[in-house]
Amino acid sequence: MTVRALKPTEIVQRLSALTGWQLTGDGADVAIEKTFRFDNYYKTMAFVNALAFIAHGMDHHPDLSVHYNRCVVRFSTHDVQGLSDNDFTAAARADALVG
Ligand SMILES: C[C@H](O)[C@H](O)[C@H]1CNC2=NC(N)=NC(=O)C2=N1
């Protein structure tokens, strides 16, 4: 699948459609990031595994920082050294996991 880098105006628009996601970094290091919080490690890991399943299906993989009761999820598109539609689609799917 071909993927293209979103323009800054597109990024702002796509970001505004999501809740809790923030733009981090710039240039080739740009990403979108959100911290998901849970009651305990078991629930955190259930989320991580479900997200990994989705990522495998999309062939689009987040950077994850896993802690006892939270997981920081970071999406960017290496292939374009920026943000693509895939990042926002994957972010919405991550949100859907927690309702
Ligand atoms: C060849 C393979 O499909 C690509 O390298 C995929 C794999 N997963 C990926 N994940 C992310 N986050 N960005 C990518 O550009 C990307 N590319």
pLDDT digits (tens, 9 = 90+) for 3-46: 999 999 999 999 999 999 999 999 999 999 999 999 999 999 99
Nearest-CA residue for atom 3 of ligand 1: 59
The reported pTM is 0.96
Mutational pocket test of ligand 1: of 3, 30, 59, 89, the residue with most ligand atoms within 8 Å of the beta carbon: 59
Q: Is the CB of 60 under 6 A from ligand 1?
A: yes
Taking the CA of residue 63 as reference, the ligand 1 atom at the shortest distance is 12
Is a pLDDT exceeding 80 seen at residue 1? no
Is residue 75 within 8 A of residue 91, CB to CB? The reply is yes
* pLDDT-based confidence at residue 2 (cuts at 50, 70, 90): confident
Q: Is the CB of 74 under 6 A from ligand 1?
A: no
For the chain, which domains are there? 8-97 (3.30.1360.20)
Whole-number percent of the chain with pLDDT over 70: 99
Burial of 18 (0-12, 13-18, 19+ CB in 10 A): middle
